[in-house]
Each structure stands twice: as structure tokens, then as C-alpha cells.
Amino acid sequence: MTFGFLVSTPRRHLRSTNLSRVLPRLFARRYLHSESLEDCSVATMSTVNKTAHAFDKTRLDALLNRRFFYAPAFEIYGGVAGLYDYGPPGSSLQANIIAEWRRHFIIEESMLEVDTTIITPSPVFETSGHVARFADWMVKDTVNGEVLRADHLVKNVLEARLEGDREARGVAAAPAAPAPADKKKKKQAKTTAVKLEDAVVAEYESILAQLDNYSGPELGGLMKTHAITNPSSGNPVGEPQQFNLMFASSIGPTGQHPGFLRPETAQGHFLNFARLLEFNNGRVPFASAQVGRAFRNEISPRAGLLRVREFTMAEIEHYVDPLDKKHVRFADVADLELVLLDKFVQAAGQTTTKRMTVGQAVKEGVIANETLGYFVARIYLFLVRIGINKTRLRFRQHMANEMAHYASDCWDAEIQNSIGGWTECVGCADRAAYDLSVHAAKTKQPLVVRQALKEPLIEERAVAEFDKKVLGKTFKGDAGVVSAAVEALDEAGMMKLKGELEQGPATITADRKEFTLQSGMLTIERKTFKTNVREFTPNVIEPSFGIGRILYCLLEHSFWSREQDVERGVLSLPAVVAPTKVLIVPLSARAEFDPLVQEVSLRFRKAGVHARVDDSNTSIGKRYARNDELGTPFGVTLDFASVQNRTMTLRERDTMDQRIGSIEDVIATVTELVNGSIDWAEACQRLPAYDGVQAVE
Ligand SMILES: Nc1ncnc2c1ncn2[C@@H]1O[C@H](COP(=O)(O)OP(=O)(O)OP(=O)(O)O)[C@@H](O)[C@H]1O
């Protein structure tokens, strides 16, 4: 959330406003959106304490439900966990986030947009590895059969014990990890004030810091060691088992062509790589981008929009020369400072973040390369622009076991919220050449870039030739993965393998599995090649956004209440994403207002500003309050003076500050405010303050 206009509000503006009314509101809002009270200066603390209301999830939920941002799907049939429908403001908010995403990435970076199918034949996901490995670990309550996600069970129980320990010690919960506020989660992992030994606290914290690093059997071990049972029943749970998250289907009437609903949009990009490359005149780097639905049969979704079974993703696949991962626009972002949680800190069982510029992070090897760093920075800029609070945004690096073996580096944009604490909302991975290599190996289509060389290249290198029959017979569906892993070896690795095979069987790791190779399966020879063309499989940097998670966190970060009307909330959504930009409020329902209301509506429409008329039979104050709940940033009031003098007042949602001007000037100012070409401080310089409170309340 940017408070730029509040901070930079000129004195001229403040003087013309009722200070005692406005200041508490501003500071209440700052407090609510800041990570700690340290964000507020000492001079303002007393005001804050009088006016601030702690974040209240129950109130936010009531607002989102009442105003139909979203609601459980199939509700009148009892609902289905993890499926939600968006109502009018939720749909508009989502559409506006996506529109800004398209502007920020597709248009700004000249990306190639695609729209590929959701239903995907099984061989695609067999090749990509999803059929074998797109799975989570689940455990079953041994008595009532309830199914729980293994890592979430460990997390919930240990966090609840730590919370109980803090209660017993009389220590307030750490602001970085707010206590779960929704009732279901409380039921899941009830806290009891029990003091733990210091060593146990340290051990729990260490486990939580590296939770994503544990395998299923390791999670099972933790459950035994730490006596973790199902919190809702107290019953023991069984051994963790893998559960594939893809929804299976079949294509056509025979049932002979199995397929899946895609769990991500990425494969659709990769399969069209050759066409996209041709579209881009055969050159890299370039990126494809896609916004679309994805489906995951989540084991036990209990976290609202944060974990659903059907959701909108926005994904970018940026194809880059593996020998040159520099980015031409890196200098634009190099000085941007980010909060980073690197893998070494986590592996040491800690969660201490550090502030670093992107330039520094790449230079010191914390972020693997410029292109990855560039996208991490662009993700940050996008999230902050749409209203995510930058003090509640960090980038966490994946630990070794968490990352696919082929990926060279991966960073998640995590946004803090009251349901999941720090939650991954965007993943950004360097996936190396894996995806294109496996699809090329499987389909025999060359998914490569061919680059003309000025000088012919003569090189001697080791190449592997496979006996495909033997390989297929031995490794079946994994044959492609094995050959891709061998081909991905560098010169030294290839020669080492050759040496090993001359001695006997050799093992190779692919997709976290070990495969034993025998000399009859392949031969490795050094050969001389002369070529005028360099052929290579590009590496892929993939930023992958979950729109629903971002949308929910944005709603939390934008929500606050005015001290004089705690019951009603305000959503301080930036104009760029707000569902409606301007509310048109006629003071009276009398017919003489109609032509003016129509004229103002038409003018806003022509200016491309989404406006809505509220001519309901209720007070203006109530009408504005209702629209504060919808996040409408501006309101214009048409009163009797408007009819006579063609003037109109303009109200800003967060400060409730009011300005006055001619209808033409107000519309022009609002248009610029909505386009982001001016801020409220500048609007205040154009339009004088309106002090006729009694005329509009
Ligand atoms: N079940 C889900 N519900 C809502 N959004 C999701 C879900 N799963 C993933 N996402 C979103 O898609 C993005 C990219 O997906 P990715 O496969 O990287 O997630 P993930 O690592 O599987 O997430 P998690 O570990 O939380 O299950 C995530 O950053 C997140 O925003």
C-alpha cells in the first residue's frame, strides 16, 4: 500500500482541512497497515492508541460476504471445500489486477501472450513429471479417517504449541506471525498455555523454518518424535502417503484417452515454444505469458482463497540463452531494495531476513543471475503498485530439497496475512532447460534455438548415444528423463560417467530418483564438430502468480475501520485496481437532477472512468460509507448548486477530504487521479477545499 499522497500532502491542503478530524484517521490507517508501531513517529503515538483498531478478520469476512466479493461455490447445496465464486466487486477487482498484470508485464516487457487449453492429454503430464510427482503428503486419522496434509499438520500443531508457550510466558505473539483468526483453524490447532523448555522452543522454530525441506517419511518421523496427533479429534495419524493433486479426466467417448485438468498453465507455453520462437524471429531472449485457470485437488483446503481447488494463475516463461543470463533492463531495478530470506538462513533453522538491493544480491550470488533478479524486482514493483503493503512482503529462497533438481534457483514472493502467516503468492524459478528438453526428447521435436555464427565453431565434445530399445525396456516411462539427465551433463560429468561405465554399472540421479546405467545402454565418445550454427535449448525463468492469493492478501492489507464507525470497514484499494473508481451521488432524487446525473455519467464513461450512480433513498453519509466498503476511491456529489452553477464536490475515500470545482474540472481531475498521472496532493492544488459539510452529510 502506498501512502505517497498522504505523506506528501502539502501544508496548503492540510490547512484547508479539519485537522483534528483527519489526522487520527490517517494515523489509524498507517498503524493498521504497518508491521509494527515503530512505523509511527513518537509524536503521533498517543493519537494512534486512541484511534487504532486491531485488524479484525471477523469484520473483514463479514464485509466480504455482505458485499459479495466472493462466497463458497454451490453454497445452497452445502458448498464444496476449496471452491469459491466471485461476486461483482470481487470479479472486478480480479479483472483489474489481471489488467494491471498484463500492462506491467505483457505490454511493458513486450511478452508474447498465449491462451492454451485446460484439458491436457496424459502423455504431456507423464513427460513433464506431473503424473509421477505432482503430489503432496497426506496422513489419515487412524480412527475417524479424516485426511490432513502432513506438512500443514506439523506446522499447525507446532505453531499452536509455540503460541501456548508464549501465552504461558506472557509474551505477545510476534507481529510477523499473527495468531490464526478464523474459527476453523482455531479448531484445528487449539492453543493451550503450556510453557515449553527453551531447547524445545528452539527445536520447533528450527523445524518450522525448514518445513518445506522435509520428505514424507521425514514428516512422519517428526509426528512420532513430537507426538503429533489430529488436533480436532486427538487421535493418532498414520504414515504419510503421497496424493497426486491433478484432477483426472478422459478425452472423448471411449475413455481410452486419459487426460487431466492442468494444475498450472506452464506446459501450454512449452508445447508451443517452436511457434513462439518463430514468431519472435528465432531469437531469444523473449517471454510468453498466459492468464488462465488451474486446478489442484488440494488435500484439505481450509484457508479461504489462499488454498483452493480451482484458481486463476498468471504465468510467464522467459526463454534465455543458458550462457548469457544477463538482462538488458537490469540497471533499471538494480538499486531496488528488497527483504530477502535466503536458503542458508533457513537451513540453519532461522527466519532472519536481510535487506539488500537486487544489484547487490546478484553480485554476491545470493540471487543466481540477472534475469532472475530482474523478475524478482518486477514482481515486487507489481505487488506494491496494486496495493500490497511492502512491509508485509518478502522474498524467500527455496532450500535444496524444496527445489526441483533441475532448477538452479527459486524465490517465492511471500505476503504476510492473518490466515497463513507468510504465504507464497508468486513463485519465481530458474527452471534451466528441463521442460523443453523432456518434451523435445519425448516428441522428437527440436525445441531449440539455432543461432548463426560469424565464425565457424570447431569443437570436440563428449556425446552420448543411447540404445533406445534397451533404455525403454529398462526404464519404461522414465527413459526420457534418464536420457535428458545424461545429455544435461557437462563435459566433465560426461567423461566421469564414461569412466564409471567402463568399470561397471553407474548411477545417475534424475528427478530425485537414482537410475542404474549399464554400458550396453549407451556409449559416450568424444567427437569433433564443425558448425556455422550454434544450437541450444534455452533456459526458462518462470514467474508464476496465484491471482486469488494476491487478491485476498490485498483485501487484508487494505482493510481498516474509522474510529467513529468501527462496524463499517474501509477498503483502501488503489484506484488502479478498485472495482469502481467513482461514485456519483445526487443529493436529491428530484427529477431536475436527472439530466445532470446522466451528463456526468456519460462524461466519465467517455473518459474511460468506471463510475456508478448511487441514487438510493438514504443519506449521503451512508451512501459513501457503503462505497468505502467497496473500496471506491472517489465520490462526486451533485447538489442544488450543481444544478444552478455547474459545480460538483469531490470526496477522497481515505481522508474524507472534500474539494469543489466546475463539473468539467472535477471530471478532468478524477480522470487523471484514476490514470495515476496525478496524486491527491496535486488534485488539492487544482481544486479548492469544500467546507460545506452540512450540505452533504
Ligand atoms: N491451491 C492453491 N490455491 C490458490 N493458489 C494457489 C494454489 N496452489 C498454488 N497457488 C498459487 O500459484 C502460484 C504458483 O504455484 P506453485 O506451484 O509454485 O505453488 P506451490 O508451491 O505448489 O504452492 P503451495 O506450496 O502453497 O501449495 C503460487 O505462488 C500460488 O500463488
Q: Which CATH number fits domain 449-536: 1.10.4160.10, 3.40.50.720, 1.10.1280.10, 3.30.720.200?
A: 3.30.720.200
Alpha helices in 488-544 (DSSP H): 491-503
On the question of pLDDT at 580 being above 50, the answer is: yes
Predicted pLDDT of residue 405: 76
CB 298 less than 6 A from any atom of ligand 1? yes
Model confidence band, residue 564 (pLDDT cutoffs 50, 70, 90): confident
Please report the ipTM that was assigned to this predicted complex. 0.99
Average pLDDT, stretch 412-425? 96
Model confidence band, residue 402 (pLDDT cutoffs 50, 70, 90): confident
On the question of pLDDT at 686 being above 50, the answer is: yes
Task: Name the residue at shortest CA distance from atom 12 of ligand 1.
Answer: 546
Predicted pLDDT of residue 170: 85
CB 544 less than 6 A from any atom of ligand 1? yes
Task: Name the residue at shortest CA distance from atom 2 of ligand 1.
Answer: 307
Q: What is the DSSP string of 445-461?
A: ----EEEEEEEEEEEEE
CB 548 less than 6 A from any atom of ligand 1? yes
* 148-152, 265-269, 272-276, 423-427, range with the lowest pLDDT: 148-152
Average pLDDT, stretch 13-40? 30
Please tell me if the domain spanning 449-536 has the same topology as the one spanning 564-696.
no
- Tell me which CATH code domain 564-696 carries: 3.40.50.800
CB 546 less than 6 A from any atom of ligand 1? yes
Which residue among 414, 424, 551 is best mutated to probe the pocket of ligand 1, counting the most ligand atoms within 8 A of its Cβ?
A: 424
CB atoms within 10 A of CB 40: 18
Q: What is the DSSP string of 226-289?
A: TT---TTT---B---EEEE-PPEEE-STTS-SEEEE-SSSHHHHHHTHHHHHHHTTT-SSEEEE
Burial class (CB in 10 A: 0-12, 13-18, 19+), 653: buried
Model confidence band, residue 497 (pLDDT cutoffs 50, 70, 90): very high
Average pLDDT, stretch 319-341? 97
* Mean pLDDT for all residues in the chain: 88
Predicted pLDDT of residue 304: 96
Report d(CA 159, CA 308) in Å as an integer: 22
Ligand 1 atom index nearest CA of 315: 14
The residue that leads in pLDDT, 4 or 138, is: 138
Model confidence band, residue 429 (pLDDT cutoffs 50, 70, 90): very high
On the question of pLDDT at 256 being above 60, the answer is: yes
% the chain with pLDDT above 90: 75
Average pLDDT, stretch 39-43? 28
Residues 6+ apart with CB under 8 A from 180: 186, 189, 418, 419
Interstrand relation of 522-536 and 286-295 (parallel, antiparallel or unpaired): unpaired
Predicted pLDDT of residue 447: 97
Rounded distance from Cα 298 to ligand 1 centre (Å): 10
CB 424 less than 6 A from any atom of ligand 1? yes
* 11-15, 163-167, 664-668, range with the lowest pLDDT: 11-15
CB 312 less than 6 A from any atom of ligand 1? no
CB 426 less than 6 A from any atom of ligand 1? yes
On the question of pLDDT at 294 being above 80, the answer is: yes
On the question of pLDDT at 243 being above 90, the answer is: yes
Residues 6+ apart with CB under 8 A from 66: 629
CB 581 less than 6 A from any atom of ligand 1? no
* 17-21, 47-51, 577-581, range with the lowest pLDDT: 17-21
CB 72 within 8 A of CB 79: yes
Average pLDDT, stretch 590-595? 89
On the question of pLDDT at 3 being above 50, the answer is: no
Alpha helices in 40-141 (DSSP H): 45-51, 57-66, 88-101, 122-128, 130-133
Model confidence band, residue 53 (pLDDT cutoffs 50, 70, 90): low
Tell me the pTM: 0.81
Ligand 1 atom index nearest CA of 547: 31
Average pLDDT, stretch 535-552? 97
Ligand 1 atom index nearest CA of 301: 1
On the question of pLDDT at 189 being above 90, the answer is: no
Predicted pLDDT of residue 1: 26
CB 552 less than 6 A from any atom of ligand 1? no
CB atoms within 10 A of CB 50: 11
Q: What is the DSSP string of 423-486?
A: EEEEEEEE-TTHHHHHHHHHH-----EEEEEEEEEEEEEEEEEE-HHHHHHHHGGGHHHHHHHH
Report d(CA 671, CA 683) in Å as an integer: 11
Summarize pLDDT for 144-169 with one digit per residue, the tens: 999 999 999 999 999 999 999 998 98
CB 383 less than 6 A from any atom of ligand 1? no
Q: Which three cell numbers stand for residue 100?
A: 494491471
Predicted pLDDT of residue 193: 85
Residues 6+ apart with CB under 8 A from 569: 59, 60, 63, 559, 560, 561, 628, 629
Using CA atoms, how far residue 541 sits from 101, 204, 298, 511, in Å, is 17, 34, 26, 19
On the question of pLDDT at 542 being above 70, the answer is: yes
Average pLDDT, stretch 631-660? 94
What is the separation, in whole angstroms, between the first and last Cα of the chain?
29
Any idea what DSSP says for residue 75?
Answer: G
CB 349 within 8 A of CB 205: yes
CB 240 less than 6 A from any atom of ligand 1? no
- Tell me which CATH code domain 135-244 carries: 3.30.40.230
Q: Which CATH number fits domain 84-117+262-434+541-548: 3.40.309.10, 3.90.950.10, 1.10.10.10, 3.30.930.10?
A: 3.30.930.10
Instruction: Give percent helix, percent strand, percent coil of the chain, each to the nearest 5.
Output: 45, 25, 30
Residues 6+ apart with CB under 8 A from 111: 105, 286, 287, 288, 289, 316
Rounded distance from Cα 373 to ligand 1 centre (Å): 21
The residue that leads in pLDDT, 10 or 582, is: 582
Spans of all domains in the chain: 84-117+262-434+541-548, 135-244, 449-536, 564-696
210: nearest Cα among 90, 18, 351, 415: 351
CB 414 less than 6 A from any atom of ligand 1? no
Ligand 1 atom index nearest CA of 544: 14
Average pLDDT, stretch 201-223? 90
Model confidence band, residue 172 (pLDDT cutoffs 50, 70, 90): low
Taking CA 391 as the corner, what is the angle to CA 388 and CA 395, rounded to the nearest 5 degrees?
80
Map residue 550 onto helix, strand or coil. Answer: helix
Using CA atoms, how far residue 521 sits from 470, 515, 591, in Å, is 6, 12, 87
Predicted pLDDT of residue 359: 98
On the question of pLDDT at 48 being above 50, the answer is: no
Amino acid identity for residue 196 in this structure:
L
Predicted pLDDT of residue 8: 27
Beta bridge partners of 412: 396, 427
Which residue among 549, 550, 552, 554 is best mutated to probe the pocket of ligand 1, counting the most ligand atoms within 8 A of its Cβ?
A: 549
Distant-in-sequence contacts of 39-48, Cβ < 8 A, 24+ apart: 39/391, 47/23
The residue that leads in pLDDT, 179 or 259, is: 259
Q: What is the DSSP string of 150-207?
A: HHHHHHHHHHHHHHHHHHHHTPPPPTTSPPP-SHHHHHHS-----PPPHHHHHHHHHH
Report d(CA 463, CA 495) in Å as an integer: 9
Average pLDDT, stretch 45-59? 56
On the question of pLDDT at 178 being above 70, the answer is: no
Any idea what DSSP says for residue 590?
Answer: -
On the question of pLDDT at 296 being above 70, the answer is: yes
The residue that leads in pLDDT, 352 or 181, is: 352
Task: Name the residue at shortest CA distance from atom 9 of ligand 1.
Answer: 546
Report d(CA 137, CA 239) in Å as an integer: 9
299: nearest Cα among 130, 104, 148, 457: 148
Residues 6+ apart with CB under 8 A from 428: 372, 375, 376, 379, 410, 411, 412, 413, 541, 542, 543, 544
